[in-house]
Structures are given as C-alpha cells and as structure tokens.
Amino acid sequence: MGFKITFEPLNRTQGVGPKSVEIESAHDAWIEVHGLMNSDEQVTISENGHPISWLELRDRAKGQAN
C-alpha cells in the first residue's frame, strides 16, 4: 500500500507548480500531509491510485499506531 501526496501553495506563485512524493506507510504519509497543510499547501492524497481525504489518511495512520 502506497500513498501519493501532491501539493502546491494555496496562494499560487508564478513558476511554482505542483510537486509529488510517494510514501509507503500511512503514519509517515500523515506526518507529511499534516506538515504541508500547516504550511498552507493545497494537498491531494491518493492511495494506490484512488483519491482519499486527509481524514481517511489520519484514521489509517492511527490504526497503524495501535
């Protein structure tokens, strides 16, 4: 199971396009997403090619911690 996280600034800056990272674990993906959202980034998350919300990712990360 892998997560693809795509992000770009909420306030668009000329010459700055979206970037993507791939992370294997929900826990590590949640840490990355949480930090990006706190940095005012627009974040899109997909799991194995299917879009999921940040809430779903957070719940999966909590499930891995237990």
Q: What are phi and psi of 33, to 5 degrees?
A: -65, -45
Give average pLDDT by consecutive 10-residue segment, the chain, 66 residues.
89 84 95 93 93 95 76
Distances (CA, A) of 13 to 8, 16, 33, 36, 44: 9, 6, 20, 16, 18
What is this structure's pTM?
Answer: 0.84
Contact 23, 5 (CB under 8 A): yes
